[in-house]
Chains A and B, each alone.
Chain A
């Protein structure tokens, strides 16, 4: 008997009109897991993330976090329960400073009331100082502390990706979803990223799911891999198992057809 799953997807199906983007997917992720979801373009990976984070409500099936069903929970409530994510195409608050981007992510964790903020009470100052300290620590971890007053839009591309991860972590999640974190990064940055994701898992004690096309990153990082193809979960297992799985190879490279006369 293993642990209780942190994230539990049961027969999740997501349809858009006649298109089935995710078809009857069941998977479990346990605390401190480091898993990857891979699959060809259009396989439904991001849609799956969107169903987990409440942007879409699944057509059928259920998503649970810590055995709590997330059906009918708003995106914002799901964040509060402990799922954070980054986006495939970066979605930072471009015109806010780096530190404000992170501070905002602390929104659901801040312990002072509205009027406390308006009248700037002692409690407000205490909480804000505490938050500021935490945010700076987080930025230091991502080597962004010297850029804290830069506007987010003025950061280099790789730094923007890092900032988005830092911001997701600032919400104090139990589960972190990374949507193509290595997209557009050079080999050095990708190597750094691998170390960083390991560091995040170990330091924050959280589970990480990543969607990624960079197979070197996935095979070196993930302990378990789920493979999606046309919305179906076609394989799951360790990197070694996945590399030798016939269905996975077919999904990526196509099927060999015998051509006889």
Chain B
């Protein structure tokens, strides 16, 4: 049973993470490859709070504070990296954010306070599956409502055409930075939830590979689609686990099969499962 619960936990955390990257990558069109860095910064910062500076208040309040600490720490990283780097475009921004993600991991690796390469142990068990899905739900509602407001439209217009967007009165820098900071902050909250359900953190949880996996979830689901991000996170977390149970040689070839399926999916639907659309019960209305 624990195994299934663990998968459910991870799915919930990845839904939040994928949505947060979708804000940066899917809505705003800024190619970020350092998302695991924000996730890690939030996880470690919140764990430092709960392990060393926890206030004498009830656990739910403390967990809420830990989430806030995770949000602020990651958002601060978002500002530090965003202000100089958002002047860069496309590939260059990707390389700069990639560098940032690695810097975070290396700082963690060399900080004795948080266990360095041995990992951060004995983090209090403050969060559970309800926390994770409550946060995921809040983020889903936030993302959908943002998309339908003029602020979301402004962010999406930057993805479509920066020059035209600016000419329609959209302040490019302000909205890019907004997406970057809020996207980073939400990833930080996902980090706090991860830390307080797993009770153990290791720098390798937050390496470059994980940034790529979150990015794959966004792209596979459909850039700019909230439904797509949720489906992408669910499918890509559960799928490798399902392959484990096929048995025989299939299990040995688990990762290659997974990779081939990704390639096939990208060839068949390059715009992602949902494209930019949302799942909607009332037919014909595209939001």
| Residues of chain A having any CB pair with chain B under 8 Å | 53, 55, 74-77, 79-80, 84-85, 87, 91-97, 100, 103-108, 110, 112, 114, 117-120, 124, 149, 167, 171
A236 to B218, CA, bound (A): 55
In the assembled complex, how far is the CB of residue A146 from the closest CB belonging to chain B, in whole angstroms?
15
B41 within 8 A of A: no
Q: Residues of A contacting B156 with CB < 8 Å?
A: 93, 96
Within 8 A of A (CB), among B146-175: 146, 148-154, 156-157, 160-161, 163-172
User: Closest residue to B285 on the A side, CB-wise?
Assistant: A149
With contacts A104-B154, A118-B145, A118-B146 taken as known, whether A87 is within 8 angstroms of B168 at the C-beta atoms is no
For B142, B151, B152, B168, which residue has the most chain A Cβ atoms within 10 angstroms?
Answer: B168
In the assembled complex, how far is the CB of residue B281 from the closest CB belonging to chain A, in whole angstroms?
18
The 7 A-B pairs of least Cβ separation, nearest first, read A117-B149, A108-B169, A93-B160, A79-B169, A91-B164, A75-B166, A110-B150
Q: Mind listing 12 A-B residue pairs with CB under 8 Å?
A: A53-B167, A79-B169, A91-B164, A96-B157, A97-B286, A106-B150, A107-B154, A108-B169, A112-B150, A117-B146, A124-B149, A171-B168
A55 to B148, CA, bound (A): 29
Interface residues of B, dominant DSSP:
helix
A147 to B78, CA, bound (A): 40
Number of chain B interface residues as a range:
20 to 34
**Contact assessment for B163 and A91 in the assembled complex, using a CB-CB cutoff below 8 Å:** yes
User: Closest residue to B160 on the A side, CB-wise?
Assistant: A93
A79 to B154, CA, bound (A): 14
Q: Residues of B contacting A85 with CB < 8 Å?
A: 167
Q: Residues of B contacting A104 with CB < 8 Å?
A: 150, 153-154, 157, 165, 168, 170
**Contact assessment for B166 and A76 in the assembled complex, using a CB-CB cutoff below 8 Å:** yes
B94 within 8 A of A: no
Q: Residues of A contacting B149 with CB < 8 Å?
A: 112, 114, 117-118, 124
**Contact assessment for A107 and B153 in the assembled complex, using a CB-CB cutoff below 8 Å:** yes
Within 8 A of A (CB), among B73-103: none
In the assembled complex, how far is the CB of residue B88 from the closest CB belonging to chain A, in whole angstroms?
19
**Contact assessment for A91 and B169 in the assembled complex, using a CB-CB cutoff below 8 Å:** no
Q: Residues of A contacting B286 with CB < 8 Å?
A: 97, 149
In the assembled complex, how far is the CB of residue A136 from the closest CB belonging to chain B, in whole angstroms?
16
B109 within 8 A of A: no
A114 to B154, CA, bound (A): 12
In the assembled complex, how far is the CB of residue A150 from the closest CB belonging to chain B, in whole angstroms?
11
User: Closest residue to A164 on the B side, CB-wise?
Assistant: B164
Q: Residues of B contacting A87 with CB < 8 Å?
A: 163-164
A224 to B48, CA, bound (A): 70
B276 within 8 A of A: yes
Q: Residues of A contacting B153 with CB < 8 Å?
A: 100, 103-104, 107
Q: Residues of B contacting A124 with CB < 8 Å?
A: 149
A106 to B168, CA, bound (A): 8
**Contact assessment for A107 and B160 in the assembled complex, using a CB-CB cutoff below 8 Å:** no
**Contact assessment for A171 and B164 in the assembled complex, using a CB-CB cutoff below 8 Å:** no
Q: Which of B150, B172, B276 contacts A117 (CB 8 A)?
A: B150
User: Closest residue to A81 on the B side, CB-wise?
Assistant: B169
Q: Residues of A contacting B157 with CB < 8 Å?
A: 93, 96, 104
A164 to B21, CA, bound (A): 31
A74 to B146, CA, bound (A): 25
